[in-house]
Structure 1
Amino acid sequence: MKSIKTITTHTLIIKKSEFITTLIPCNDLDEADDLIKDFAKTDATHNCVAYIIGPHEKANDDGEPSGTAGLPMLNVLKRQGLSNIIAIVTRYFGGIKLGAGGLTRAYTNAVAEALKEAEIVEKELVKKYRLDIDYHYAKKVDYLIKARGYTLLDTTYDTQVHYTLFLPDEGFLDELKDLTNNTFTFENCGMDYMSVK
């Protein structure tokens, strides 16, 4: 699956109107509305939205003439073969009307130009684990996680060290058994998308 690595913004000025595109990676449909609220500008004339998250698609013109904003934005994402991405184009009206064709071109170009700035990455669905390790073994485990190039999401400390990480190779759990004399515990925390290196 192709998506973007990080949040990317790009600004385009067309006939004095400012089109600010924000591209956001998003793997969870339940988070989409909150992300849109967080990044939409309340003082703007329009905040048009398009997203593809898994099998779900959405296009919203936010007050622009029907079909001139959200759908053209969605079409750019589809043509690029992207998924798990939200595009918000915030428009500050500059006083010159663009007409339906001009708006469609403006929103299409706004997303297309922002995608040129974005880092496109391949992502795959990988299992997430929480590992609970005694402090005695923490340095060796830290080293192993770094040496394997695994993506560490979180580390917390209390009576033990708790690692949350993507684990593309479950053979790592067998290595940890040997390393810790089988004193560690682990829990599968579901799956999520991660960038393929």
Structure 2
Amino acid sequence: MKSIRKITIYKWIIKKSEFICTLIPCNNEEEIDKIIHQYQEKYHDANHNCIAYIVGNQKRANDNGEPSGTAGLPMLDVLEKNNLTNIIAIVTRYFGGIKLGAGGLTRAYRQSVADALKEADIVEKFSVPLYKITIDYSYTKKFEHLLKVHKIKCTNIEYLEQVSYTCYLEDESFLSIIQDLTNNTYDKTYIRNDYIELS
């Protein structure tokens, strides 16, 4: 699966209108609305915040007040032609007083996304399960050594009565190594699958 590594912003001006394209990686369908709302708030004074996204099984385009079909769909088309997924594109327009016409708008929104993608790091991502693994404090030193040896990426560590590690397990056979290390006294909870880059 192809996506972008990190948030990318690209700005340009055409006939005095400023276009700001923000590309955002997004792995979780539940976060789409929150992310879009955040940028609508950030650019609340703009004339338009047009949107296109492909995240998981969801695909949408929104012209946000521009003439129908001149913004969201051309933006979505660029994402599709580049075979990208788990990505949100928002193009913000500050109107400069000169009308572009339907053809001009379509070209401007399409170009905004295409040029932003030239600036972005496009990477291959893979679906990897995320687990929460809870162990006793006495095993932490050995466990953390195993994480390094196996190059396992942890996103969070919680120190409560026991220690909980939130980790991506590309190879789930690692769970049997933890079982041996802790004499089967550990807890595991599958959280979800995320698309991530593999190191």
TM-score (norm 1): 0.94
Deviations along 1:81-113, whole A, 9 cap, x unmatched?
Answer: 001111000001111111111111111111011
Flag structure 2 segments of 5+ consecutive residues without an equivalent: none
Secondary structure in structure 2 of the residue aligned to 1:33: helix
Distance (whole Å) between structure 1 residues aligned to residue 15 and residue 84 of structure 2: 29
1:22 correspondence with 2:33: no
Is 1:55–2:51 an aligned residue pair? no
SS at match of 2:24: strand
1:175 is matched with which residue?
Answer: 177
> Which of 142, 145, 149 is the equivalent residue of 1:143?
145
| CA–CA separation in structure 2 for the residues paired with 1:150 and 1:25 | 22
User: Number of residue pairs matched?
Assistant: 197
User: Amino acid of the residue matched to residue 57 of structure 2?
Assistant: P
1:94 and 1:113 mapped to 2: Cα distance?
Answer: 20
CA RMSD for the aligned pairs?
A: 1.3
- Residues 67-86 of structure 1, C-alpha deviation per residue, up to 9 Å, x if partnerless? 11101100000000001111
The one-letter amino acid of 1:17's match is S
Distance 1:123 1:180 in 2: 32
Measure the CA separation in 1 of the matches of 2:63 and 2:146: 49
Look up the match of 1:194. Answer: 196
Identity of aligned residues (%): 57
- In the TM superposition, what is the alpha-carbon distance from 1:117 to its structure 2 partner? 1.4
Q: Could you tell me whether the CA contact under 8 Å between 1:24 and 1:87 is conserved in 2?
A: yes
The separation in 2 between residues aligned to 1:145 and 1:52, in whole angstroms, is: 33
Which stretches of structure 1, 4 residues or longer, exceed 6 Å deviation after superposition?
A: none
Q: CA deviation at 1:53?
A: 1.4
Residue ranges of structure 1 left out of the alignment (5+ in a row): none
Shift of 1:30: 2.2
**Residues in 1 aligned to 2:172 and 2:36: alpha-carbon distance in whole angstroms:** 36
2:33 counterpart residue number: 33
**1:12 deviation in Å?**
1.3
Alpha-carbon shift at residue 28 of structure 1 (Å) = 2.2
